[in-house]
Structure formats: C-alpha cells, structure tokens
A and B are shown apart, each in its own frame.
Chain A
C-alpha cells in the first residue's frame, strides 16, 4: 500500500511539479529543432565548429569536446534519448499520482446526495434568492416543480426539519472532463509505446511489373518479411499545365497464398492497407528506359519490351522491329510524346507519334494490325508501415478533444429550493452553484427567478 500524504507522494501529486515538467519539456524540445538529428559525426563537428566560430571561440579542441558532450546527452537523437523520455515518464507519473490524489474527491462530488447538504450552507451561496408563496409548502412544491422542469431542472424532493427541500443538478459528470484529458495523454503515450515496440517502418523501391515479399527497414536496411507479396502493376505521374507534379499513382496488387486478393491504385494521401501493413506512395525513380507494349489485334497475342532511347527492339515471333527515335517535348514542361519507328522486316515501315501511355496502330501489308503503347519505366517508392499502436493514439486524441470540449464548454450546476412555512407564511429559498462559467450561471439563475415569479402564487419577498 502506498502511504498517502507523505511528502514524496505529495511532491509527485503537485501541480508545481507539473508546471516544472511542462516548461522543461518545452525548453528541452527546442534543442532537437536546432541541433540536426541523426547526422554524421563530421556533420556535428562542422555544426558545433561553425557555432563556436560564430561567437569567435573556435578551436578544434573545443569543437571536439562539445561534440562529445552532445553525443553523451544524445542531442543527435534527442527525442529518443533516455532523459527526454524520462521527462515524459515523469509527466505520466505526475499525472497518475495527481489523479489518484484528487479523483476520489471529485468522484464524491459527482455522485453525492445533495439532499444531505446542510441547510445553513444554502444561505451562504453566491447565487441566492428569497421568494414568498401564497400557498402552503406542499402545494408550493407541487407548483414550482413543473415550472423548473420546463427549464430543464428536474427536481427530487426530501423533507427536512426546516421544510421541503427540492434539488436538481445539470451535468455533474462534466467534473470528470479534465480527468479525461489527463487520461488521454496516458493513452496516447501507451499507443506510442506499442508502436515503438511492436511496429515496423520500412520502404521498398518496386520496379513496375515486379513484386516483392519483403520491405527494408529504414536506417539499417534489414529485411522485414511481409508474409504476403506486393506487386506494382504500373506507376504514373501527372503534371499541372505548369509542369508541377499533380499526382503520383501506383497500381498495387496484393498476392496472398498465390491468389490476387486486393488491387488498388494508391496515391499520396490515399494508401493501401492489408493485414496491418499500410503502403504509402512516397517517391519514384526513373530508369531512363521505356516500356513498349505491343498487341497483335488480329491474333490477340501481346508482349511487353523494355528499351532505352534509340535502341532497336525485335519481336521475333511476329518479326517486328521498332525503336523510340526521339522524345518530343509537349506544351507541358517535362512531358513528352514518343516518336516510334516500326518496321515489319520486309521493307514496310512507319513512324508513329504517341502520347505518353496512349495507343497507336501499325498495319502490316499482310493485314495484321498491331497496337503500340509507350510509357517511361519507373520504380515506385513505397513507404511501408505497420503500427499496431495507432488506434490507441487516435483513441487518446479523441478522448482529449472530448475532454477539452467538456472542460471548456460545460459545467456542473446545482440548484436547491427550501420551501418552509413560518407563521402561516410560505417562503422559498433558492440557492445554486456552478463550478465554471459563473456569469452564465448567473443569467440562468435570473431566468429561474423570472419564470417562478410569473406564477400568480409566487412573489418577491
């Protein structure tokens, strides 16, 4: 058992510690935005050297010492360093202890029986009203209850020595909003930890038409087995009229147990997910070669060829010879038409001008019709991620927004009415509190006054 109220416990429960940790986290985070992360030793030498130079204190020894200290404190990989994560751990501990310390009291406020409130306390509340009724107490209670209910204050009733006590409250659970925010931070941290220990991040450059059952870990380049195969059918880049890239797209196929199970055209911001792995369009590479697809329209035989610019290619079975002679620039910068020369091996030849990825036909003397299509040969650069912690992170984010919304927009409001008879006169004491947005509650309170006094049996005392 933790012994409560000892000074170490109170230290970890204190808001002062929270302030300290938050400010230190803010200040410490700055370091990693200035010192380059994950760079080479030479780079750090240079970086610290130029800083020392800037303040006129350069020397090789000083540079070496500072570089060494920087490594000791993990400034080169700051956000994964023991001390930075230690600070995050301290924040979590602070939050947990603080909540254990305070939550029971808050919970009591949420569930407490407000009919037990000492009558004397009502007199001391900031929002207080005294009205008189021409009816006896029981009758008065029966009169005001539906009026209050019409304003959203459904009351419960109890009998006290002083008279009849009516009580109503709105949204007591909103007191927990702040604690939802605090909990959400822990949930996000938990999600990040799950991702760190069980997640994988990698990438692969997949040439068009080829497939792979592995991706390669960032940094180390280690192979990671996917457990299924991913294939790239094609990659395509489209451009704006200005030549700026408009979209990168790849058609990916998932092959699992030798079956094609999923085909999707992915683009930046629209990845493909299969068995926990998500594949993102991240880059591409041109190989300065071209894919020439040819189909014999008559026999429906087709074939694909890979060729650099100006190299002649022979399709033996059909006795065709062709070559991309030239790239013709189009109106859109960096896009081209292809000038394709086709020869049938018997003296017949023709020049086709093809738009990128568009078809053109060549008819041979013997009547065979061939359809040609040319595109640049690319590899698609895929980023692959498997992060089983993401849903926890998102859950935490959702909780945080809900909690902040509650903390900001909602309050716990309570209303008591004591209806008592004295010397044949009935008086109503109305008292209320709100834990937040006190001006708003004052207006609500004034409205209650207006509504009640409009009834013919009730008047201002």
Chain B
C-alpha cells in the first residue's frame, strides 16, 4: 500500500460520500445520510493514513519532511481539513444536510490534486522552506480555509432556503432553519477568521526569521490580507442593520472566492515569493 493509491481511493471516497449526502437530502432519507457519514469517516481515516505514509515515504527517499510543502500536498491537506471540520459540525449540530453542501469541496480539492495539473512528486525542501514555521503556517492557513469552504456551503444553503417559496415544507424543511444556518455560518466564519489570523501571523514570523521582514507586501501576503479584511468586514456586518441573513450568506460565498484566489489565483496570475506555484 502506498500513499498515492490511498489518495486515489480518497478522491473517489469523497465523491461517493458527496453523492450519498446529496441523494439523502433530495430523497429526505436519514438512513442514506448515515451511509454518507460512514463513507466520509472511512475516507477521512484512509486519507489520514495516506498523509502519514507520504510523510514516511519522504524519509525513505532521504528528504524527509511533513507532507505540507507543495501545491499537491496542500490540496490533499485542504481536503482532509474540510472533511474533518465537516464531521465535527455534523457531530455537533446533528444535521446531515450540511454534508451535501460541504463534502463536495473536499472532493473538489482532491479531484484537482489528482487531475494531473499539479505535480505529485515529493520534492526536497529548498533552504527557505526548512522551518517549523512552515508547518505551523500551512496547518493554520488551511484549517482557516477549510472553515471558509464550509461557510461558503452554509451560505449556499441559506440562499437556497431563503429563495425557495416554501421554507418549512417539503425538501426545505429538512434544512436547518434560516436562523440556525446564519448562526452556524457566523460561528464557522469567526472560527476560520481565528485560524486565518494565526496563519498570517505564523507566516509573518517565518518571513521575519528567514528574511528579516515580517511583511513585504508580496502578492500572496497581500491577498491573504485582502481576504482577512473581507472576513473582518463580514463579522461586523451583522452589527449593522440591513446586513444580516442573505447579505452575509452572499458575503460568505464572496469571501471564499477571495480564499480561492489567494490560494490558486495568485500563483497563476501574479508572481511572488511563495513556492506553491511550482506545481
């Protein structure tokens, strides 16, 4: 068994789990939803093992480092955190409909990782990347990104329910109430904001220990700050009249677009210090 194979299975595992969650939602079947939970948990475990194996494999080829150092590895980790965060939410709020809107993100990240667009090789670390702050930086950023992905899913749920004529009948009745969705979304975004903040801070400390400048306005740094400003604004929106509910749901989707751009867009469209573009 090697990590590549297991990660391949994980991609299909999340695809399958997404299908089950969506089907369970559409056919209002709680039993099917249970299957979704089962497959998500199973895939999550397989992916955890795969990450461990990849770590071990990097030592076997003599360049040992945590599997968090290039585009491919970050995508795998992203998908892993989304699934983990979602499982936590499901456990906490006992509602499986969220799975239909959250798990597809875990699948999408894996699908992109395995699409052949990014190199799957384990590369040796250039000197600037040899720092424990790198691990702290990647972990914190991606926990934040995962929370924002789920918040985006929650925003979509909110809007679907809000725009449907019958909020409390039929299919829509299985979704949590608008109030609950708004509440979970807000909590998720503060949680993501906490981690994004930690991600930016660890990045700054790392830059300071490598280059003597904690902030140099490189495009990736700047985009993470743009994202941060954006979510800071969203967190305050509900303290202002007329900005609750649907507006916040739209903003949660917009915020996630900022995240995506910070993560991929910057690499492909702008140039800077960050090495993930190499994939």
Residues of A within 8 A of B266 (CB): 33
Residues of A within 8 A of B49 (CB): none
Chain B interfacial residues counted at CB < 8 A: 48
Residues of B within 8 A of A33 (CB): 219, 222-223, 266, 270
B6 to chain A, nearest CB (A): 26
For chain A, residues 344 to 403, give those with C-beta under 8 angstroms from any C-beta of chain B.
383-385, 387, 390, 393-394, 397, 400-401
For chain B, residues 198 to 227, give those with C-beta under 8 angstroms from any C-beta of chain A.
198, 201, 204-206, 208-215, 217, 219, 222-223, 225-227
B241 to chain A, nearest CB (A): 9
Q: Do residues A383 and B212 form an inter-chain contact, with CB atoms below 8 A?
A: yes
With A and B bound together, what is the CA distance between A120 and B187 in angstroms? 32
CB-nearest residue of chain B relative to A25?
A: B229
Which of A18, A269, A393 touches B131 (beta carbons < 8 Å)?
Answer: A269
Taking the complex as formed, is B236 at the interface, i.e. its CB lies under 8 A from any CB of chain A?
Answer: yes
A to B contact number (C-beta, < 8 Å): 112
Tell me which of A201, A269, A271, A385 has the highest count of chain B C-beta atoms within 10 A of its own C-beta: A269
Q: Do residues A405 and B194 form an inter-chain contact, with CB atoms below 8 A?
A: yes
Taking the complex as formed, is A274 at the interface, i.e. its CB lies under 8 A from any CB of chain B?
Answer: no
CB-nearest residue of chain A relative to B270?
A: A33
For chain A, residues 256 to 312, give those with C-beta under 8 angstroms from any C-beta of chain B.
267-271, 278, 280-282
Q: Do residues B124 and A242 form an inter-chain contact, with CB atoms below 8 A?
A: yes
A241-B62 contact, Cβ under 8 Å, with A23-B230, A23-B233, A30-B226:
yes
Which of B204, B206, B209 touches A271 (beta carbons < 8 Å)?
Answer: B209
Q: Do residues A26 and B270 form an inter-chain contact, with CB atoms below 8 A?
A: no
Taking the complex as formed, is B190 at the interface, i.e. its CB lies under 8 A from any CB of chain A?
Answer: yes
Residues of A within 8 A of B108 (CB): none
Taking the complex as formed, is A54 at the interface, i.e. its CB lies under 8 A from any CB of chain B?
Answer: no
Chain A interfacial residues counted at CB < 8 A: 48
Q: Do residues B211 and A280 form an inter-chain contact, with CB atoms below 8 A?
A: yes
Q: Do residues A15 and B239 form an inter-chain contact, with CB atoms below 8 A?
A: yes
Taking the complex as formed, is A315 at the interface, i.e. its CB lies under 8 A from any CB of chain B?
Answer: no
Q: Do residues A16 and B222 form an inter-chain contact, with CB atoms below 8 A?
A: no
A394-B205 contact, Cβ under 8 Å, with A26-B226, A267-B127:
yes
A268-B214 contact, Cβ under 8 Å, with A26-B233, A400-B197:
no
Taking the complex as formed, is B244 at the interface, i.e. its CB lies under 8 A from any CB of chain A?
Answer: no
Digitize A1-25: 1 where CB-to-B-CB distance is under 8 Å, 0 elsewhere.
0000000000000011011001101
Taking the complex as formed, is A253 at the interface, i.e. its CB lies under 8 A from any CB of chain B?
Answer: no
9 A/B residue pairs, CB under 8 Å, sorted by A = A19-B237, A23-B230, A26-B233, A247-B130, A268-B128, A269-B131, A390-B214, A401-B194, A401-B201
- Show the binding face of A for B, using Cβ within 8 Å: 15-16, 18-19, 22-23, 25-26, 29-30, 32-34, 37, 79, 192, 201, 240-242, 244-248, 267-271, 278, 280-282, 383-385, 387, 390, 393-394, 397, 400-401, 404-405, 407-408
- Show the binding face of B for A, using Cβ within 8 Å: 62-63, 123-124, 126-128, 130-131, 133, 187, 190-191, 193-194, 197-198, 201, 204-206, 208-215, 217, 219, 222-223, 225-227, 229-230, 232-233, 236-237, 239-240, 243, 258, 266, 270
A19-B243, A29-B222, A79-B222 given; name 20 further pairs at CB < 8 Å: A18-B233, A18-B236, A19-B240, A22-B229, A23-B229, A26-B226, A29-B225, A32-B217, A33-B222, A245-B126, A247-B127, A269-B131, A270-B209, A271-B209, A278-B212, A383-B212, A385-B212, A397-B201, A397-B205, A408-B187
